[in-house]
Amino acid sequence: MAQSELSNTLRLKRLGIDTLQEAVIYMRRDCHVCRSEGFSARARIRVNAGDGSIIATLNFIDSDLLAPGEASLSEPAWILLGAEEGGQVSVAHARSLDSLSSVRAKVYGEKFTDGALRNIVVDIVEGRYSDIHLSSFITACAARSLDDGEILGLTRAMISAGQRLDWGAAPIVDKHCVGGLPGNRTTPIIVAIVAASGLTMPKTSSRAITSPAGTADTMATLAPVDLDLRAMRRVVEKEGGCVVWGGAVDLSPADDTLIRVERALDIDSEGQLVASVLSKKAAAGSTHLVLDLPVGPTAKVRSKADAASLSAHLLTTARALGINTTALQSDGRQPVGRGIGPALEARDVLAVLQCEASAPQDLRDRAATLAGALLELSGGAAAGAGVAKAIAALDNGGAWDKFQAICEAQGGMRTPPISRHQRPIVSERAGRINAIDNRRLATAAKLAGAPDAKAAGLELHAALGQQVEISEPLFTLHAETPGELAYALDYIESHPPILEIELLQ
């Protein structure tokens, strides 16, 4: 540390400001350090405490929130630095990051080297990129598409920035759906089928970020999912499978940061998507992978051509990583199953596993198709015999037994809650349903409270091609509070119908 930096110390006061991921340092504008260093608002500041060091963006405080000699950090910065109330920090101008030169070079048309991508990902994981830098990196990757070499380099960089799980010798199977479709909750069913068939499927899944439910949200209504790595291993060793929340396991930590910014921009570059999916699979130790690509006008992948291009990049990169992969396109024109929302989707999952007569056939078919592909890919079934074997595991109760055993091993099976407020939405005309807007259906379910309100969401009563009468219920809203129900109704009433109905001639 330079001599002049030693005097730049301030005492930390915790203000409790949560900026999500952004590291912010709060300093009084009139503080001696700001004056002597010539700091300006939004300057990038290196903050040192003990052996640790982070980079944060400066916000000035013009009030008495901080006393002279005090500074504060946003919550993510506080945690990243391991700061303590009243602890000392020293501050200095942050040097510019070398890895940003590589981002600039990419903007102007050069290719990324593997080393450049490694440095960029490390800087992102260490919180050294501001939103401005993250956005430029993501935009550059979209405007100057990554080639297969760059995609592989980015994927490898993302893998090595986090933990990597090792499960020993057995084939480790996994399944991933690229671009969620509401209600498409095949994962718990597939895990039950393939684990019942003797394969190993240690599944980590995510909570919802913008959707009404993630697999982890749905599974949490059936069993505990917040298992650490040790507990997860115990479950997998005992039952051959699990469905836990991936957040407790630090796989591909750059990914969450990149996804947040991609979402704000509504930009999905193919290269980023491939790296995001495959880095997590490789880090989780997967050796055999089936990818589900739903294709439809309101799905993430809009056309068969887009799906083919994305599949090609996914398969090329997976091959280079040594992951045996199959990519399947599926129908993404409407939701899968009936429920949308954690508990409502869990009910669909239970109905399929219990072979109820009323179980949604589309969910059962998809789960069997994907499980069958996984069985064939990993040697669990002969070519062409996978789907039949998967259906047999459902029909003979093996999958249901296995699912209950997994839930017990994860901490005990639960019954999904039931919503307190329900309201059917009826058709305003007679006719045939010829389009369903997945995105607006998801928005309505979220406004009703999903995924935080576990029982909230909606239940579909109609499907594409079906004929409906005037006043026939199209779907039922489920909410935990009258306010959330009103909010969802408000949205539905002030927008065009979510289910488009063609008048019969």
Catalytic residues: 268
Q: Is 16 a binder of a second copy (CB under 8 A)?
A: yes
Taking the complex as a whole, the smallest distance from the CB of residue 158 to a second copy amounts, in Å, to 20
Q: Is 264 a binder of a second copy (CB under 8 A)?
A: yes
Q: Is 494 a binder of a second copy (CB under 8 A)?
A: yes
Query: Which residues between 471 and 490 bind a second copy (CB under 8 A)?
Result: 481, 483-484, 486-487, 490
With CA atoms as reference, report the closest residue to 170 among 202, 199, 195: 199
How many amino acids of this chain bind a second copy (CB under 8 A)?
67
Of 350 and 479, the one with the shorter C-beta distance to a second copy is 479
Query: What residues contact residue 416 under an 8 Å CB cut-off, 6+ apart?
Result: 221, 222, 342, 343, 344, 346, 347, 350, 454, 455
Bridge-based pairing of strands 44-49 and 88-93 is: antiparallel
Q: Is 421 a binder of a second copy (CB under 8 A)?
A: no
Of 29 and 333, the one with the shorter C-beta distance to a second copy is 29
Name the residue with tokens 């047999």.
Answer: 392
Q: Is 303 a binder of a second copy (CB under 8 A)?
A: no
Out of 449, 455, 457, 498, the only residue in the binding site for a second copy (CB under 8 A) is: 449
Contact 186/403 with Cβ under 8 angstroms?
no
**Within 13 A of 226's CA, how many CA atoms are on the CB side?**
1
- What amino acid is encoded at 185 in this protein? R
Of 59 and 316, the one with the shorter C-beta distance to a second copy is 59
Of 43 and 462, the one with the shorter C-beta distance to a second copy is 43
Out of 51, 85, 95, 108, the only residue in the binding site for a second copy (CB under 8 A) is: 108
Report the chain's terminal Cα–Cα distance, integer Å: 81
Out of 446, 454, 461, 478, the only residue in the binding site for a second copy (CB under 8 A) is: 446
Binding window for a second copy (CB under 8 A); candidates: 222-230, 383-391, 442-450, 464-472: 442-450
159/422 Cα distance (integer angstroms) = 44
Name the residue with tokens 């980590």.
Answer: 204
266/385 Cα distance (integer angstroms) = 41
Q: Is 9 a binder of a second copy (CB under 8 A)?
A: no
49/256 Cα distance (integer angstroms) = 26
Out of 9, 11, 75, 472, the only residue in the binding site for a second copy (CB under 8 A) is: 75
Out of 266, 322, 384, 503, the only residue in the binding site for a second copy (CB under 8 A) is: 266
Q: Using CA of residue 24, residue 26, residue 30, residue 36, what is the dihedral sign?
A: negative
For the window 126-155, what string marks contact with a second copy as x by the rule CB under 8 A?
----xxxxxxx-xxx-xxx-----------
210-243 burial, b at 16+ Cβ within 10 Å, e below that, comes to ebbbbbbbbbbbbbbbebeeebbeebbeebbbbb
Taking the complex as a whole, the smallest distance from the CB of residue 288 to a second copy amounts, in Å, to 34
59/370 Cα distance (integer angstroms) = 50
Of 113 and 135, the one with the shorter C-beta distance to a second copy is 135
Q: Which helix (H) or strand (E) holds 202?
A: strand 201-205
Taking the complex as a whole, the smallest distance from the CB of residue 192 to a second copy amounts, in Å, to 31
Check whether the bond before 451 is cis (ω within 30° of 0). Answer: yes
Of 133 and 203, the one with the shorter C-beta distance to a second copy is 133
DSSP state, residue 329: E
Query: Which residues between 36 and 65 bind a second copy (CB under 8 A)?
Result: 36-38, 40-42, 44, 59-63, 65
Contact 414/222 with Cβ under 8 angstroms?
yes
DSSP state, residue 240: S
Contact 156/318 with Cβ under 8 angstroms?
no
Binding window for a second copy (CB under 8 A); candidates: 226-234, 235-243, 343-351, 447-455: 447-455
Taking the complex as a whole, the smallest distance from the CB of residue 384 to a second copy amounts, in Å, to 40
Residues engaged in binding a second copy (CB under 8 A): 2-4, 7, 14-22, 26, 29, 35-38, 40-42, 44, 59-63, 65, 74-75, 96, 100, 104, 107-109, 130-136, 138-140, 142-144, 260-261, 264-267, 446-447, 449, 452, 481, 483-484, 486-487, 490, 494
